[in-house]
Each structure stands twice: as structure tokens, then as C-alpha cells.
Structure 1
Amino acid sequence: MMRRRTTLLTGCTALALALGATACGGGPVSAGGGDKALDGQTVTVAGVWSGSEQKNFQKVLDAFTEKTGAKTQFVSTGDNVSTVVGSKIEGGNAPDVVMVPQVGVLQQFAKKGWLKPLSPAAQKTISADYAPVWKKYGSVDGTLYGLYFKAAHKSTVWYSPEAFTQAGVKPPKSYDELLKAGHTVSDSGLAAFAVAGQDGWTLTDWFENIYLSQAGPEKYDALAAHKLKWSDPSVVEALTTLGKLFKDKQLIAGGQKEALNTDFPGSVEKVFGPKAEAGMVYEGDFVAGVAHDQFGKAIGKDANFFPFPAVGGGTAPVVSGGDAAVVLKDAKNAKAGMKLLEYLATPEAAAVWAKAGGFLSPNKKLDLAQYGDDVTRATAKSLVDAGDTVRFDMSDQAPAAFGGTKGTGEWKLLQDFLRDPSDPKATAAKLEAAAAKAYQD
């Protein structure tokens, strides 16, 4: 799908259209109309973000406050969103809005009856301004509960242009070329890849890109829904492909043992930090934020990316992730919370974080010019242009016990596989046993 560049509506006009306001300056208007209609109210928001992400999201919340008069309070939950939010609900202290980072958690919340369906105004905006796939991932049993405000492009491989120039390699077009280029980089004095094995979620992303390209979107969807068993030969094949990388000590900085002791920020540091140890790091577009903010790299010059290459005879994958805004039904100020969500659906809200950096929006109406650099514009365009061929992070679609919990399920089993990738079939069987239990529960 080709993306049509649009000009951002500004001020009252944009929000009146997006939020269903009746007028600007006269009569009642909904959130964002600039009339301070929510003055004196406070909206509490819970999400996983911390550090620079939390600071940048606060800029969006501040813009909402400027428009509506509503104060906001953000609570960082850490990785275990479902546990933290569940305890707050049980304690009678539910936040108004939760930024849910996993489809599986959104589905879990909906099935427990915790979520409020989105307002007609929000639904109308999402239908008009987002590819249908984002509506699908925000819905449970045909009811739309979640707005995907922040997206991630998880099919990007980040590299040091200096390392590539030194090795005499160019960005590869296939997985086999990727491994070949990696050996060439290694021969020039650096390891090929920094792998963040300490964080199990990064390993799930490796698997998902390979599986989507190698097995195709239909099997990807079936595996994500556990309609296809993890012991299926297609899973064994993808693990075998991934194992070629994992077991090659020439390709991984410090080998498997060091990879298992390297977290995500550490993997970026090994490529873009003061003492480079590797030429490439695979992860989402958010690598750029770490490379720039922590190590001062100029994106596009000192750090660049190429699309995750096609595997076998498949097409290049586009795997995404994202944070969906939902409103809790039992929240003390759910009505104002829904107004915040309606604001987040506008290109104006997305533009606030786009200008700050470290952000992608699936909103088709956000002008690419709002992004701060050409590399981010390229990743954003790739994500939006992919339309309904985008597939959401598979582990994020699974129950949290299988796809989203440290030390258990898919995260742990893929860490075990990184430690010893010699038996893909046995790993597939263990994954199936863990998945079967999680989906049953």
C-alpha cells in the first residue's frame, strides 16, 4: 500500500475532526478542543516506559493537559504490566489508562472484563487513519478496546557504516548473505553481531523474523494463535536456521556465554559504544534512540539500518510491536481517560513524540516530515507502507506466561537454545509443551 503524504491538521481543527467536537470556541467540545473542559480532573496512566521514553510520553501528556486542563499522572509498571495492573484493580486503585505492550495481555484484560470498549469517536478515527491490521490487534471478539499509539518496526538490522566500509561489505539482501557478510566483518577484526541474550524477548524477535519469512504469513498467524503446534516441522526448520548463527562463535561477540550476559542496551553499546566489539546488532527501530541518546551517534551517518533480509525463498519480513492504549472499566476517571485516548488517536498527539525522537506511529495521517531524521522517516514509511502485511510480534500475542515473562516459557527456552543450539527438534518440543500449558490456562 502506497502511503499518501498528508499535511498535519493543527490546533482546534484537527482535534475537532478527530474527537467529534461540535465547534471551536462556541458550545461544548470534547477533549482537545482547547476549552479546558477537563479542568480539575486527573488522568492516571500506567505503562512500561521509563527513562527517555517516559520523558517523551510525558510531553504528549503535557500537550493533552494544555488542550483540556486535565492533569496527568504516569506510573511506570516495569515489564510485568499484567501483574501490576491486576493488583491495582484488586486494591481498588485502578489507573484510568494503561499502555499495554502485548496483544496477549490486552486479550487477557478484555476476557477478565477489565476494559471499556473504545468510544465511537476513537473507533471512527482508527478506522479512517490506521491500516485494518491495527484494528484487528486492538480488538477481542469483535470489540475494539485498544488504540496502537506507539509502534515498533522489528525487522531492522542496525550496523556501523564504518565497520562495513572497513570490511568492504554492503547491506545484504538474504539471510545467507547476512551470515556471509558477518564472516567478512569478523575477518576484519570485529565480531559480526552483538546478541542481547540476557533479554529473552530479543531472541523471540530473531525467531519471528526468520519464521515469518521462511514459513510465510499463514503459518505465522496459525502459530501465533497456537492453531499450529510448536513441534511443527516449520518451527524446527526456523530454529535450525537461527541455530546456524547462534552456534557460530565467529559471528557472536564474546560467543554464546557473553551473549547470555548481554542485555539489550549492552548489545547496542557493543556496536555503537566507545569500544566497538561488533559490526551489527539486530533489533527494532528503537536501537537508533539508544545509539543516539547514549552514545552520541548521528543516525544515518554513524549508525544505519537495513531491512531484515529474506530467508530461503521467502519474502523479507515486517514484524511489528506496539503499545496499545486501553481504558479500564473500573477506573475512577474512565470518562476523562477515554478523552485522552481520543487525543492519542490524532496525528497531532503522535507528532509531539515524533519530533522528540525514538518513536514510530502507525497513524497514516502523521506527516513523515514530523520525524526528526531521514532514517526514522524511512522506518516509519516502511511500517505504514506495509499495511496489512505487517505481522505483530508473535510472543506479544501469546499468553504472558509463554511469551512475556522472564525466566519461563519462550524467553527461557530460546535462551537455553542460544546456550546449546544443537537440537532444534527437542527445543521445538519443549516450546510446544510450554505453549500448550499457557494457552490452556
Structure 2
Amino acid sequence: MRLTRHRRWAAPVAVAAAVGLALTACTGDIASEDAGDVDCADYEEYGTFDGAEVTIGGTILDLEADRLVESWSDFATCTGISVDYQGSSEFEAQIAVLAEGGNAPDIGIVPQPGLLQRLAAGGWLIPASEGVEANVDEWWSEDWKNYGTYDGTFYAAPLMASIKGYVWYSPAEFEDKGYEIPATLDELTELSQTIADEGEHKPWCVGLESGEATGWPGTDWVEDYMLRLHGPDVYDEWVTHGIPFNDPQVAEAFDAVGEYLKNDDMVNGGIGDVSTQITEAFQTAGLPILDGECSLHHQASFYETFWNPEGGDENTVASDGTVFAFLLPPVNADDPLSVTGGGEFPVAFRDAEEVEAVRTYLSSDLWANNRVSLGGVISANKGVDPENASSELLVQSIEILQDPETTFRFDGSDLMPGAVGADSFWKGIVAWVSGDSTESVLDTIEASWPSS
């Protein structure tokens, strides 16, 4: 998935963050005492509103929620729109019920194209305005626009993004032990076996727990292997059910992942045996690297935030820092660069000028640069300056997303119908890690695919 699925960033508690700012018009050099030192020249195009309020809901919590709120604080000051954000780890499970009951927020930050399609099919979404669409046409690729489109109608622009398939490690350990960054999947297997044979600790640390979404980190592993082993065309067939979920090619990807996740020699470093993957929270699963209790952790670019859980900066993310990451390698060293990733989409449940003003800002290069500069995230917006990113890794991630030669595929489970991508696939990962066979798990997931 995708927290992006910022389900992936979601902690098990809800966070509310509100910005209620000056309701006076701001243009050019601000004279308003409330506006302080804010220069509103960049925000004039969004208009001014007297007493307008916009509510936003999503899965983004904790430090990331604070940074999200900060990213629109100047916009709120200059436009007079009071923006109230409410984050919840249950947002994805609840938003359709809220929409059906007429209680949805004005804007919902949806981390799954599949969920967006479900909400659109229910008739609850407001199509995107001309301003939002113009921004997407200028700053985003056609693929990203298509993720926010349902049945020919464009509903939402992308927001942030993430690159999946990073393998986090300690540069100091690699230097001390003479480990090389693997260039192929076979070399990754060799490295993992070397670490296991040395006997100091298990090579990999893994956490699959995420509340109702437990299992999703395992789906990311499978998606990465599907793309690398079989290429983008087969990947596309898989996520659209052009091939069944129990196709031999899917089984091959599962079994390749199983060489790690179902192997007591490989996991779960610093945590326990194979079974502890299911109870270890994804947010904390990589931290044993900091204590030298494991060497490798598979998680997306957004995991940078979790290396300093208290919000400090004692653990640096750099090639010569405390931790860094390399992309899960291809089958062959000279294969084209292929990555999976995720993102969010701010959908609208209320038709109002102030709502579309907020959504237009969120789809702009101005917002993307503002948010990236605050740290911890990336964007696929082509107007983002990579140097605004908060680490060497995130600069690299933005450059990968902006490179026209990169083969990018959205997180597969996020594209699948909810009954699969947000249910049977997650549950299947848990059952599989718990000991069920690949064949039985894939047959069960295949049987859950909606007939229409």
C-alpha cells in the first residue's frame, strides 16, 4: 500500500491539527498585524475569503501532520481560509461510511486510487476544478493524473509521493564488514546469507503490524519482486486481474520474498523469530539497525521520518551518515530502473470555491516545494527542486521520479479493488508468514477478487 498509504505513517492514535488564521485580505507586502511577516504575493491567485472554513481528513499523523499543517499556514493567512485538519488511522476504513451519511470532511486525503474509485462510484466526490486540472496538466505526468481519474472524470490531483523498495542499512556497518551494495537480486541473497552465516544477528528486521492494515508492508515486498522479476507489463496485468492472483508468476514472486520473510535464518533481527513480524509495528521495525541487531530493512522513502522518532536529528540519513538506503536491485545489473511507489489524492466532498482554492494550492508546484522543504517527504511534481529535500536520499528519490527513463508503477494493492488490495492481500500476507502455503494463500486471494 501506501501511507503514503500514509497508512504507512499512521500511528494507532488520532491527531487533530487546526490552522485558524487571519480572515483579512492579504496582497503583496502585508500590512495586517495578523499576517506578520508573511509575503502574500505568491498567494494572490487563490483569492481572499472572509470567514471561510475548510475541513480536511486523512491518515497522516504525528510529526507528518504537524508539517502538513505548516505547509498551508501562509496560504491560510493570505487567503483568510481557516483550514482544520483531522488525522486518523481509521480514515480509510471510515471515509465511505462518513460520505454516505453526509458527514465526510470537505477534503479527504485518500492514499489509494482504488479507494478514490470506490468513492467516485458511490457518487460522493466533486470533480476537480479547472485550476486543479491545469496544475496537474502542467506539473504531473499523465500516469499520475490517471490515478486521480475515474470513468473519464478527473477528481483529484496527486499530493505527496513515496518510492517503495528501499533497503535501509548502516553505512558504518557496511564499511566495517566490507559489505558491498548489491547490484542484483542474487547479490542481495548472497549478502543476506553472508550476514546470517556470520551469526552476529539475523540479516533482516521486519514489521508487518499496522492496526487494521496489518500485512501491508509484506505486499510491498511482493509488488517489488513482481516488477523486477516479470516487468511492468505483467505487473499491470496482475493489478488489473488480466492474470489471476494465483498465476505461477505471482507465486514465483511470493516464493522469492518467502526466502526472507518465512526463513528463521533471515528474520527477525533484534526482535524475535519469524512470527514476530506480525506483531512488530512497521514504524519501529527498522530501528534495530541503530543498535547493530539487524543489517537490512525494506521500507519506502517516507521511512526517513522514523529514524528519529522523537523528532530530533541525532540519526542522519546520508551515504556517510547513521543510516542510508539502496533500491532493491534488479534481476540483472543492466536492467532499466524500475520502482514502485505510492501517493495521496485530496478528493472533495463539498462543492465550494474555498474548497477548490485549497485543492488548487495543494496541486501546485508552490505547495510541493513548501512541503518538501519542511522535510521527510518527496513529491512527483515536476516543479519541485530536488535540492529542497531534507536528505541525500530524498533528493535522489525526487530525481528518480522526475527522470523520464524511470519505469514507475503505483503500489499494486492500492490499485486493486478494496476487497483484495485492502483486505484479502493484507490478510493473506499474515496467513502466509504464519505458515500457510503460497498456493493456498494465492487461491484464497484469487477467490476474493470481485466478479465485476
Q: TM-score range by the shorter chain?
A: 0.7 to 0.9
1:386 CA displacement: 5.2
Counterpart-to-counterpart distance in 1, 2:96 and 2:51: 27
2:119 to 106, 109, 120: 109
Partner of residue 321, structure 1: 342
Partner of residue 70, structure 1: 81
2:257 to 230, 234, 242: 242
Residue identity in the other structure for 1:340: V
SS of alignment partner, residue 64 of structure 2:
helix
- Verify: 1:283 aligned to 2:299, yes or no: yes
Unpaired stretches in structure 2, ≥5 consecutive residues:
1-26, 30-39
Partner of residue 163, structure 1: 173
Partner of residue 120, structure 1: 130
- Verify: 1:381 aligned to 2:399, yes or no: yes
SS of alignment partner, residue 301 of structure 2:
coil
2:445 to 410, 431, 437: 431
**8 Å contact from structure 2 (residues 337, 407) kept in 1:** no
Partner of residue 20, structure 1: none
**8 Å contact from structure 2 (residues 112, 415) kept in 1:** yes
Counterpart-to-counterpart distance in 2, 1:34 and 1:128: 16
- Verify: 1:310 aligned to 2:330, yes or no: yes
SS of alignment partner, residue 108 of structure 2:
strand
Counterpart-to-counterpart distance in 2, 1:283 and 1:132: 26
1:185 CA displacement: 2.4
Counterpart-to-counterpart distance in 2, 1:118 and 1:152: 23
Partner of residue 67, structure 2: 56
Counterpart-to-counterpart distance in 2, 1:258 and 1:236: 23
Counterpart-to-counterpart distance in 2, 1:347 and 1:90: 33
Partner of residue 366, structure 2: 348
**8 Å contact from structure 2 (residues 336, 407) kept in 1:** no
Q: Where do residues 8-407 of structure 1 align in structure 2 (5 Å cutoff)?
A: 32-33=43-44, 37-81=48-92, 83-186=93-196, 187=198, 189-198=200-209, 199-253=214-268, 254-272=272-290, 275-294=291-310, 296-300=314-318, 301-311=321-331, 315-328=336-349, 331=350, 334-385=352-403, 389-405=407-423
Counterpart-to-counterpart distance in 1, 2:258 and 2:419: 24
Residue identity in the other structure for 2:292: A
**8 Å contact from structure 2 (residues 46, 79) kept in 1:** yes
Counterpart-to-counterpart distance in 2, 1:281 and 1:211: 19
**8 Å contact from structure 1 (residues 357, 372) kept in 2:** yes
Counterpart-to-counterpart distance in 2, 1:156 and 1:345: 26
Q: What is the aligned length?
A: 403
Counterpart-to-counterpart distance in 1, 2:316 and 2:398: 18
1:199-224 Cα shifts (integer Å, max 9, x gaps): 31100000000001111111111111
1:188 CA displacement: 5.7
1:389-436 Cα shifts (integer Å, max 9, x gaps): 21000111122232124xxx1111111112226x322222122112x2
Residues 1:48 and 1:387: Cα distance change in structure 2 (over 3 Å) = farther
1:66 CA displacement: 2.0
Counterpart-to-counterpart distance in 2, 1:317 and 1:56: 30
Counterpart-to-counterpart distance in 1, 2:103 and 2:90: 19
Residues 1:315 and 1:214: Cα distance change in structure 2 (over 3 Å) = farther
1:24 CA displacement: 7.6
Residue identity in the other structure for 1:208: E
Residue identity in the other structure for 2:347: V
SS of alignment partner, residue 363 of structure 1:
coil
Q: Specify which structure has the higher proportion of helix.
A: 1
Residues 1:316 and 1:433: Cα distance change in structure 2 (over 3 Å) = farther
* Deviation beyond 4 Å, 4+ runs, structure 1: 312-316
Residue identity in the other structure for 2:188: L
Counterpart-to-counterpart distance in 1, 2:115 and 2:52: 28
Q: How high is the TM-score relative to the length of structure 2?
A: 0.84
Counterpart-to-counterpart distance in 1, 2:220 and 2:100: 33
1:39-98 Cα shifts (integer Å, max 9, x gaps): 3100100100110111110012312202311001111132442x4223333443331111
Counterpart-to-counterpart distance in 1, 2:308 and 2:359: 30
Residues 1:207 and 1:35: Cα distance change in structure 2 (over 3 Å) = closer
1:304 CA displacement: 0.5
Partner of residue 18, structure 1: none
Residue identity in the other structure for 1:62: S
Aligned alpha-carbon RMSD (Å):
2.4
Identity of aligned residues (%): 26
Residue identity in the other structure for 2:150: V
Residues 1:355 and 1:116: Cα distance change in structure 2 (over 3 Å) = same
Residue identity in the other structure for 2:249: S
1:325 CA displacement: 1.0
Residues 1:260 and 1:161: Cα distance change in structure 2 (over 3 Å) = same
Q: Which has the higher contact order (CA 8 A, sep 6+)?
A: 1
Residue identity in the other structure for 2:417: P
Counterpart-to-counterpart distance in 1, 2:369 and 2:199: 42
Residue identity in the other structure for 1:291: W
SS of alignment partner, residue 148 of structure 1:
coil
1:306 CA displacement: 0.5
1:359 CA displacement: 0.9
